[in-house]
């Protein structure tokens, strides 16, 4: 895939994610454009893979380019960056008491804080989320609003 095709694919994936759920997540964009197989993503989430970049099907230069294009699209579309903490799925308690242990996931081989943060940052479309909230209001919520306006 050429850089131009990648730009188009990344921007399209970001747009469609924002339209369908109000935000775009880098790992979902990577899956949408075919760089990250869903099975490998699940292996990473369950802790069977040490870091996400190792299971992506493109080299680090292309991954870096894709991540940059996500930020370019987010800025152009006025999306709000929002950090999301990724933790391992399927962690069982060792004892019967207390909380489950939280195991953070790694995105990159070297674990650089800047790289980790860029992968974990979701981009929220505030206009679309407000629109979605308005669409999903129940009749009782609409009646309450009408009464408040009177």
Collapsed DSSP state (helix, strand, coil) of residue 123? strand
Residue 109: predicted pLDDT:
94
- Given a cut of 70, whether residue 96 has pLDDT beyond it is no
Q: What is the 3-state secondary structure (H, E, C) of 24-60?
A: ECHHHHHHHCCCCCHHHHHHHHCCCCCCHHHHCCCCH
Mean pLDDT of the chain: 89
| pLDDT more than 90, % of the chain | 73
Residue 53: predicted pLDDT:
97
The answer to whether the predicted template modeling score (pTM) of the entire model surpasses 0.75 is yes
Domain boundaries, the chain: 3-149
């Amino acid at each position: 895939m050429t850089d131009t095709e990648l730009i188009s694919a990344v921007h399209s994936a970001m747009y469609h994610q924002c339209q369908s759920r109000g935000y775009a997540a880098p790992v979902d964009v990577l899956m949408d454009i075919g760089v990250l197989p869903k099975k490998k993503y699940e292996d990473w989430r369950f802790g069977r893979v040490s870091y996400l970049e190792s299971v992506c099907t493109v080299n680090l230069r292309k991954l870096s380019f894709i991540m940059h294009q996500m930020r370019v699209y987010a800025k152009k579309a006025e999306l709000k960056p929002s950090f999301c903490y990724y933790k391992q799925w399927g962690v069982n308690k060792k004892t019967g008491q207390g909380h489950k242990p939280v195991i953070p996931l790694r995105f990159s081989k070297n674990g650089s804080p800047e790289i980790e943060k860029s992968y974990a940052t979701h981009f929220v479309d505030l206009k679309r989320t407000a629109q979605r909230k308005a669409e999903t209001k129940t009749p009782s919520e609409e009646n309450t609003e009408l009464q408040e306006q009177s």
